[in-house]
Structure 1
């Protein structure tokens, strides 16, 4: 009779019996060589896949760099067409040309906005921000110190990064 902690006598005898591979070392070596060949093949396939993935990623990065401005350039083409149209009509009245310039500026502003280029144009009295504004001069004024008095040139952000700071005049400390 057996207990739960021990194997039956027949099972213990089966576990201790040598296998064909144990009796014949040549079979064991052949089995190990087959397993080594399988693992080597799997390793080489994985290595090739990694290299292919790396190569495709490098190609994608190169294409992204090469064509990074494609969308922006595409947005600028209507602006170029409008300017060419203005040049093609040299005898146009000043009012017509001015209307065309305003329309072209709207096209340009729209193209910049679609490409995440945003104006920095602080209102008078706005707090001076050295991250977005560049103080050109300091003037005495009645408003609070270190606030914008006038914008001399608008600045621009592109995706929250300053492309060009706004050139401003600020109030002097009192």
Structure 2
């Protein structure tokens, strides 16, 4: 919330600054300026009233053109500032849970390790494993609502953008740079990598 308010405040400040800039340019076209320039022109030797009028009109046209160009530049700058502010706010909303998601991942890892450890088939162990599996499923379904998705690239080509290779092994009948096993799943948040998957890759 603080980030959005700050962006809005910066945008309003920028727009106010640009409006003041336009006012400064507009103020350059006033009677005092024209009077001074006409007075300077009248000091020229042999200057006629008609010539003074032409000079004054030319200066008015020049200042009007400069003002028009400045307004266009200011409008473009304001539009760029507004667009950047909107993009910053969108990113802030989209990835506000980034650090929170990173804190949750060790919990997911622990639940998965607990399931792997419960391999015995006695009633107590089976019940424990089923309970942990239900908890993990509920947890993953909850975080998926916020677009936190696992990266589990088993038997997929190695992707350095999403995976981190910790070792390479010889595997018959498997193409080179294929993920043989996943030591730790990776995760993405709204398509952006939060943690790479730790994988073992085939040499080929």
Q: TM-score range by the shorter chain?
A: 0.3 to 0.5
Larger radius of gyration: 1
TM-score normalised by L of structure 1: 0.45
Which has the larger share of helix? Answer: 2
TM-score normalised by L of structure 2: 0.39
